[in-house]
Structure 1
Amino acid sequence: MRWSYSSARLFRQCQRKWYFAKIMAGPGKLTDDARLRARRLSHLSTLSAWRGDIVDTVISERIIPALQMGDRIKSGEVRTYARKLFDQQRAFAEKNRKEDLTLVKSHHPSEFALFHEHVYGPEPTEDDFDAAWHDIVTAFSTLYALDDFRAQLVAGMSYYAQPPLHFDIVADLKGKAVPDLIVYTDDAPIQIIDWKVHTDGTNDARGQLASYAIALSRMIKPNRNFPLEGWQAPAKDIVLKEVQLLLGDVRTHELTDDDIEDAEAFMMHTAFSMEQLQDGKKFANCDIEEFEATSDPELCASCAFQSICWETAGHA
């Protein structure tokens, strides 16, 4: 079992949600219909999450590679590429509404999208898609208007978008963290940046960013393309930035000893709990009744696995 911040959040929110995501829809060859169905459901995305994914993809695949090459991409080019992705993925989701257990995401790398609303409702309207596109445009307009932040970003020497960080949590429990961006700059602290596309910015990402900083500080060896020197630093010395792209707010988080202790405790507690609950068992030997359901009806209603969760558990 490998701990990650996202899997830990699923586990804390609803053990059954984590059960489907990590056991039924986990890596490896899937043969039975139940696991294939869970894999399909695991790819469902709400329109709200999808618009954020579009923004993340454009930044990672267009803006950051251009910075690495010393180039600048104009905002109009960014918008054009984002619109292409938006239209392709919307069309793909519309075309693949019907459940198809043979559909594989890796076979459709750029256009793949499946909408939660197509399965559970309410059916998205044209106004909903217009609103999603408006938020995407706003996010990029905001990014290009953050002059001080962009100047600091351009000053970087090397950039790594969504790099996997593999690290040890405790004993034989392993962790994996995937920050949105790591920036290395000569004679300046390492920066870890997290893009947020939310209209509600009341919940900050301090704990999430702390887990990324801890992951980088604990890596035994660098990723293959990381700088040869200076690729690692103590968690407290890493500059953490949460960029709220719909609010125009750049929040810099400086970790205290208490922040690091809290994040490490969260990692160890959830990783150990996940390990104990699964107990090395494979899917065929697991019982869904061993996994707690959420008591939050809103969380249950937004869960991608709700249909088979209640069917399997014998609920109406």
Structure 2
Amino acid sequence: MKWSLSSAKTFRKCQRQWYFRNVFASPTAKDPERRAAFLLGKLQSVASWRGSVVDEVISGTIVGSLKSRQLPERQEAIAFARKIFDMQLATAKKNPLREPDMPVASWGRSYAALFSVEYGDGPTAEEIETAWREVVAAIENLLRHRGLLNRLLGAKSLFAQRPLQYQAYGVTVVGVPDLIAFYENEAPAIIDWKAHAVGSSDAWLQLAIYAGALVKCTPHKDFPENPSLRESADIRLLEVQLLIDRIRNHELDDEDRAAAEDYIADSASTMLTAIDGRKLADMSPDDFSSSPFDGVCADCSFKRICWETNA
């Protein structure tokens, strides 16, 4: 079983939602309900979609420029963002869930699926306009951080959205940092981009998990050798809040790192207990409790199949 921070948060919020997303859903299963669950799991709010557009712009153009030892240009980044934004909005309005037999990969960069299209009337013009303004603001704020960009220019190598995984506590722990920067004679850095309008998120736990994964994982073949990397404490952890234009440097102590390990161990144990060694054929949604929190069902991507199952 794979474990990630997002799956742990989902399990805590609603075990049944976790079941549909992490156990039942499948892009390749012949069962149309499992395929439907996979597609429903791709639904995003307008805000989360806007954040994914920003991530794609950073990975697709800004990091590419830095790898070429050039500072990224605003005009190029904004033009790329506009292209991605418009393509994905057009796809989302068509609702790709209406074409369940078309593989997600075949959509390429144009794929996007919005919760408000599947379960409502779609995003309003004001929501779309706000989303675009925030995409531009996030990109411009990042490009103004010349100190950060110059530090990344000096990296030996940069890896965007590179999965890290290792075995622990009976599960496969998975983390996907937004950016890993390796240096010649110093410890690497892990950077997490955030695009929250209020900037209230503190990513210390997420970054601590990434740092542990970078130390413990089997390195990708193109990762450079880095003799200075011995402990997760060596790794610099940066949380970049793009909309409120703030950078947080997280310096974790032994207690923080122990807390992160305890979080993984406790969460993994609870998930494994819920599954209890069973295969999918021996499980049903009723085996997993629904959310005890108000409002979760209304915003759940899987409510259609969940409610049909329990009709």
* TM-score, normalised with respect to structure 1: 0.94
AA aligned opposite 2:207: L
Q: Is the 8 A contact 1:165 1:216 kept in 2?
A: yes
Q: Distance in 2 between matches of 1:261 and 1:300?
A: 33
Task: Give yes or no for contact 2:97–2:113 (8 Å, CA) kept in 1.
Answer: no
CA–CA distance in 2 between the matches of 1:179 and 1:143? 17
Distance in 2, matches of 1:19 and 1:276, equals 13
> Do the aligned residues in 2 keep the contact of 1:216 with 1:232 (CA within 8 Å)?
no
Q: What is the rounded CA distance, in whole Å, between the counterparts of 2:48 and 2:139 in structure 1?
A: 16
Q: Corresponding residue for 2:209?
A: 211
Aligned to 1:299, the other structure's residue is in SS state coil
Asked if 2 retains the 8 angstrom alpha-carbon contact of 1:66 and 1:72, the reply is yes
Structure 2 distance, partners of 1:150, 1:66, is 10
| Structure-2 change in CA distance of 1:112 and 1:309 (3 Å) | same
CA distance in 1, matches of 2:142, 2:247: 10
- Residue deviations 1:149-176 (CA, integer Å, cap 9, x gap): 2222222121010111111223x42211
> What is the aligned partner in structure 2 of residue 114 from structure 1?
113
Q: In 2, are the aligned partners of 1:213 and 1:235 still within 8 Å (CA)?
A: yes
Q: For the Cα contact (< 8 Å) 1:193–1:243, is it kept in 2?
A: yes
Cα offset, 1:228, TM superposition: 2.5
Of 246, 268, 273, 1:271 maps to 268
Distance apart, 1:237 and its partner CA:
1.3
CA shift in 2, pair 1:214/1:97, >3 Å: closer
Q: Give CA-to-partner distance per residue, 1:256-315, whole Å, 9 cap, x none.
A: 11111111011011112112212333332212122111122222222111121122123x
Task: Give the match for residue 200 of structure 2.
Answer: 202
Q: Name the stretch that deviates more: 111-120 or 225-234.
A: 225-234
Identify the residue that residue 9 of structure 1 maps to in structure 2: 9
- Aligned equivalents of 1:298, 1:243: Cα separation in 2: 29
Mapping for residues 50-199 of structure 1, pairs under 5 Å: 50-96=49-95, 99-121=98-120, 123-170=122-169, 172-199=170-197
Percent identity between the aligned chains?
Answer: 37
Residue of structure 1 in register with 2:293 after alignment: 296
Query: How far is 1:122 from its partner?
Result: 5.4
Counterpart of 1:17, as a letter, is Q
- For the Cα contact (< 8 Å) 1:63–1:73, is it kept in 2? yes
Correspondence 1:21 to 2:4: no
Where structure 2 has 5 or more consecutive residues not aligned to the other structure, the ranges are none
Tell me, in whole angstroms, the C-alpha distance in 2 between the residues paired with 1:56 and 1:203: 17
Report SS of the residue matched to 2:108: coil
Q: CA deviation at 1:190?
A: 1.1
Q: Tell me the CA shift for residue 98 of structure 1.
A: 6.0
1:238 is aligned to 235
Tell me whether 11-20 or 142-151 shows the greater mean CA deviation: 142-151
Give the letter aligned to residue 2 of structure 1: K
For 1:96 and 1:202, how far apart are their aligned partners in 2? 31
Bigger CA drift: 193-202 or 296-305? 296-305
Q: State how far apart, in whole Å, the 1-side matches of 2:259 and 2:59 are.
A: 30
Q: Give the Cα separation in 2 of the matches to 1:174 and 1:50.
A: 27
- Aligned equivalents of 2:284 and 2:97: distance in 1? 29
Query: How far off is 1:71 after superposition?
Result: 2.6
Q: CA deviation at 1:93?
A: 1.3
1:193-227 C-alpha deviation (Å, 9 max, x unpaired) = 000000122230000111001111212x3111100
Q: Which residue of 2 aligns with 1:43?
A: 42
Whole-Å separation in 2 of the counterparts to 1:8 and 1:98: 26
CA contact (8 A) 2:166 2:216 kept: yes
Contact 1:222 1:231 in 2 (8 A): no
Query: Match for 2:237: what amino acid?
Result: L
Cα distance in 1 for residues equivalent to 2:107 and 2:97: 17
Instruction: In structure 2, give the amino acid aligned to 1:229.
Output: N
Q: CA RMSD in A?
A: 1.6
Aligned partner letter, 1:235: S
Structure 1 distance, partners of 2:52, 2:33, is 27
Q: Which amino acid aligns with 2:194?
A: K
- For residue 147 of structure 1, what is the amino acid of its counterpart? R
Tell me how far apart the structure 1 counterparts of residues 295 and 265 of structure 2 sit (CA, whole Å). 28
**Quick check: 1:216–1:233 contact (8 Å CA) kept in 2?**
no
User: Structure 2-normalised TM-score?
Assistant: 0.95
Q: Is the 8 A contact 1:155 1:185 kept in 2?
A: yes
**How many aligned residue pairs are there?**
311
Question: Could you give the per-residue CA deviations for residues 93-141 of structure 1, whole angstroms, max 9, x where no partner exists?
Answer: 1123663321321111210111100122353111111100000000011
